[in-house]
Structure 1
Amino acid sequence: MERRQLEYFVAIVEHGGFTHAARALHVAQPSLSRAIGKLEHELGITLFHRVGRNAVLSAAGEALADRARLVLRDLDAFRAAARAIGAGTAGRVDVAATSSSALEPVTSAVAELRRHHPGVTVSTSSALSATEVVAMVLQGRCEVGVCGSAERPTGQGLVAHYLRDEELLLVTPPGTAVGTGTSVTPADLRGMRFVVTKPATAVRTLFDRFAATVDDMVLAAEVGDRSAVLPMVLKGIGAGLMPDGWADLARRAGAQVYHFNPPERLAQWLVHRRGGLTAAASAFVETTLALCDQRAD
Structure 2
Amino acid sequence: MAQPSLSRAIAKLEEELGVALFHRVGRNAVLSSAGESMAERARQVLRDLDALRAAAQAVGEGAVGRVDVAATSSSALEPVISIIAELREHHPGVTVSTSSALSATEVVALVLRGRCEAGVCASAERPVGQGLVSHHLRDEQFLLVMPPGTAVGAGDGTITANDLRGMHFVVPHAATAVRARFDRLAAEVGELAIAAEVGDRSVVLPMVLRGVGAALMPDGWDYLARRSGASVYRFDPPERIPQWLIHRTGPITAAARAFIDTTLSRAQDAAE
Q: Does 1:70 align with 2:52?
A: no
Q: Does 1:33 align with 2:11?
A: no
Aligned residue in 2 for 1:90: 64
Corresponding residue SS for 1:267: strand
Q: Structure 1, unaligned stretches of length 5 or more?
A: 1-26
Deviation per residue, 1:83-135 (Å, 9 max, x gap): 11243211111100000000011000000000011111101111111111111
| Equivalent runs, 1:50-69 vs 2, <5 Å | 50-69=24-43
Aligned residue in 1 for 2:22: 48
Corresponding residue SS for 1:268: strand
Shift in Å at residue 144 of structure 1?
0.3
Letter paired with 2:73 = S
Aligned residue in 2 for 1:273: 248
| Equivalent runs, 1:44-193 vs 2, <5 Å | 44-180=18-154, 181-193=156-168
Corresponding residue SS for 1:178: coil
Instruction: Please give the TM-score of this superposition, normalised by the length of structure 1.
Output: 0.88
Tell me the C-alpha RMSD between the 2 structures.
1.2
Q: Using the alignment, how far apart are the partners of 1:147 and 1:183 within structure 2? A: 25
Deviation per residue, 1:129-172 (Å, 9 max, x gap): 11111111001111100000111110001000110111111010
Aligned residue in 1 for 2:189: 214
Shift in Å at residue 56 of structure 1?
2.8
Q: Using the alignment, how far apart are the partners of 1:118 and 1:178 within structure 2? A: 45
Aligned residue in 2 for 1:195: 170
Letter paired with 2:260 = V
Percent identity over paired residues: 72
Answer with 248-257 or 56-65: which moved more.
56-65
Q: Structure 2, unaligned stretches of length 5 or more?
A: none
Answer with 116-125 or 40-49: which moved more.
40-49
Q: Using the alignment, how far apart are the partners of 1:256 and 1:99 within structure 2? A: 20
Q: Using the alignment, how far apart are the partners of 1:214 and 1:260 within structure 2? A: 14
Q: 1:221 to 1:51 in 2, by over 3 A?
A: closer
Letter paired with 1:185 = T
Aligned residue in 2 for 1:9: none
Deviation per residue, 1:205-227 (Å, 9 max, x gap): 11111111223211000111111
Q: Does 1:230 align with 2:242?
A: no
Q: Using the alignment, how far apart are the partners of 1:89 and 1:161 within structure 2? A: 22
Shift in Å at residue 201 of structure 1?
0.9
Corresponding residue SS for 1:87: coil
Shift in Å at residue 61 of structure 1?
1.5
Corresponding residue SS for 1:236: coil
Q: Using the alignment, how far apart are the partners of 2:179 and 2:24 within structure 1? A: 42
Aligned residue in 2 for 1:263: 238
Q: Using the alignment, how far apart are the partners of 1:243 and 1:58 within structure 2? A: 39
Q: Using the alignment, how far apart are the partners of 1:254 and 1:85 within structure 2? A: 49
